[in-house]
Structure 1
Amino acid sequence: MSTDWLPSKRDGILAMAEDWSAVLLDKGSVWGVVPVELAAFNAAVAAAAAALQAAQQERSPTATQTCRDAFDALIAQMRFLKSRYFLSPPLTNTDVVSLLLTPKDSTRTPVPVPGNQVTAKTRPLGPGLLELVVEIIGDIEPDPYAADYGCSIYYLVLADGEDVPETPDKFLHQGFTRRKKETVNRPENERGRKICFCIRLENAKGQQGPWGPIFWTIVP
């Protein structure tokens, strides 16, 4: 069920609660709702209805606060009933709809493997410190979980005279980040040496996209 199941306005909340009262009068015992709890809920519905009517007529600070308190109590009762009785059998989807709720969607949304490459611009920040400004190459393919994408960063510090490799097979894992800017801190003995990077996009399920282009800079 959706987490935003509760109506945003008081008249909508009251309408839903009154609907629940009618449904529970018929099916409450079948669903195992304790009579004392059902009575407390019905009392909260009646109190909220009376308080809302009074607040609409009087529009005084006292009436407004009384209405607010009554609806806080009603909402607490509704949240309790929903979590205690409405989330599991014997309720069917038809029962859930009768309560003005949305049945749980059991269809899994497919999460595609990222298809984009990632690169980054480098900027020296100080001795041994580099900043990587991550850039995704091309437009992100449609994915409802794209906001959860991150990047796995790999690196390799080259020995003096060593050429930049053509593949990242020997690169080490620097870490995972969802930030667009990542700071890399290298030890003193690596200053002045070439450091290569290669980045892969990673989705919410941990599936990685293709390797990005290898790029390098000098450790400041």
Structure 2
Amino acid sequence: MASDWMPTSRPALIEMGTNWAALAGNNPAWGVPAAAITGLGEKTQTLQTLNATPPSARTPVMVAQIKTAEKTLVETLRDIKKRYFFTPPLTDADVIALGLKPKDDVPTPVGAPTMIADGDLAFSVKGMVSVVKIRPGGPNPDKRASYGVRIYYGLLGDKGKGAFKLAAPPQTGDDLPHSVFTKTKSHTFDFTAERGNQAFFCMRYENSKGQAGPWGEVMEAYIP
């Protein structure tokens, strides 16, 4: 019976079935057919009657009957909720009376990332450096978030045109002059004209507003 709204105890399940049948019967505007209400009431009563027998007096057959009746009532409650409990015609007060939670239509803002970005460097082709296996360096506290990663980079060395050159090895991502943004798990840089130079990378997560999380570790490698 695991669910975000389904009762986890048998007495609470019986109480919900009784409550739903009464409320649906008293509110014809909800559009629940009389047959569905009657069926719900009967299935609830069946489970209630079986469950009234003390556990010590239950035979194996009765235990099996209770489990079957419980499963049947759970399926009936789920079916009724799916078919008939819509807002409108139900109000938030009606939903609460049914023991459910009203739908929250107000979006909850996703804050700035709090975890660092981690990854590895790979070299499959000469002149190419790939940042691969981009992943959180710790738990993601907000599973709703679809964060992207901004990869900062720069080069140190005498070869090439100098477009990405650094004056000194970087200490943090703040010292790297260029960046790319990605939501993929890897990104490849073409440094064909910079072979032999030293490449530095540092990443951090960003949300949709450009708010950034903490820096990850500075990664470095010589361009093959």
8 A Cα contact 2:117 2:205, kept in partner: no
- Percent of pairs with identical residues: 24
Unaligned runs of 5+ in 2: 168-174
Alignment RMSD (CA, Å): 4.2
CA distance in 2, matches of 1:40, 1:134: 51
Q: Secondary structure in 2 aligned to 1:106?
A: coil
Deviations 1:173-193 (A, max 9, x none): 56534xxxx8x8889x78854
Structure-2 change in CA distance of 1:43 and 1:32 (3 Å)? same
8 A Cα contact 1:198 1:211, kept in partner: no
After superposition, where does 1:171-210 map in structure 2 within 5 Å?
171-173=179-181, 176-177=184-185, 193-203=197-207, 207-209=210-212
Q: How far does residue 67 in structure 1 lie from its aligned partner after superposition? A: 0.7
Q: How far does residue 130 in structure 1 lie from its aligned partner after superposition? A: 7.4
8 A Cα contact 1:150 1:176, kept in partner: no
CA distance in 2, matches of 1:173, 1:144: 21
CA distance in 2, matches of 1:160, 1:168: 17
Match of 2:166 among 138, 143, 164: 164
TM-score (norm 2): 0.67
Higher strand share: 1
8 A Cα contact 2:149 2:205, kept in partner: yes
CA distance in 2, matches of 1:93, 1:147: 25
Counterpart of 1:154, as a letter, is: I
Counterpart of 1:7, as a letter, is: P
After superposition, where does 1:1-220 map in structure 2 within 5 Å?
4-27=4-27, 29-54=28-53, 56=55, 58-114=57-113, 118=116, 120=118, 145=142, 148=145, 150=147, 152-154=149-151, 158=155, 161=159, 162=162, 163-164=165-166, 166-169=175-178, 171-173=179-181, 176-177=184-185, 193-203=197-207, 207-209=210-212, 212=215, 215-219=219-223
8 A Cα contact 2:130 2:189, kept in partner: yes
Q: Secondary structure in 2 aligned to 1:199?
A: strand
Deviations 1:27-85 (A, max 9, x none): 1x221111122222112111111222246353332211111110111011101111111
CA distance in 2, matches of 1:130, 1:105: 39
CA distance in 1, matches of 2:204, 2:119: 15
CA distance in 2, matches of 1:164, 1:117: 27
